[in-house]
Amino acid sequence: MGSGLKKPKNYKGLNKYANVLTNEEQIHFNYCIDNSYRISPKPATTGLFPDSWHVEIRLGAYKKGEKAHVSPTVYDDKGIWPAIKKIRKYYYDKRTK
């Protein structure tokens, strides 16, 4: 049994194949994971099929009721992954140099 909901025909969602990492980007990704920088896409609109996204950043270990830092910029499905990679690089460069 399905939920009875169908995706709109023009729905793109997040492109899971756009997040392919180079060796340098993999180093930035691993650094953020090891140091509890949680950087992820967050839907900018409510509903089942969002088409715009914010970048959400959570620093440090998980705490109940914590508030995330959310970017004011809204990204589409093509712009969200480059923005996340740029933020990962920022935190890597800030803490290791």
Q: What is the pLDDT of residues 63-76, one digit of tens each?
A: 888 899 999 999 98
Count CB neighbours of 88 within 10 A.
22
Count CB neighbours of 32 within 10 A.
21
Residue of 52, 94, 92, 93 lying closest to 74 (CA atoms): 52
Whole-structure pTM value: 0.82
Domain that holds residue 92: 23-96
Judge whether 17 lies within some domain: no
Judge whether 9 lies within some domain: no
CATH code at position 70: 3.30.160
Q: Rounded distance, CA 95 to CA 88, Å?
A: 11
Judge whether 69 lies within some domain: yes
Name the domain count of the chain: 1
Total number of residues shown for the chain: 97
Judge whether 6 lies within some domain: no
Judge whether 29 lies within some domain: yes
Q: What is the pLDDT of residues 29-85, one digit of tens each?
A: 999 999 999 999 999 988 888 889 999 999 988 888 889 999 999 998 889 999 999
Please report where in the chains the tokens 């729905």 appear, as a residue. Answer: 11
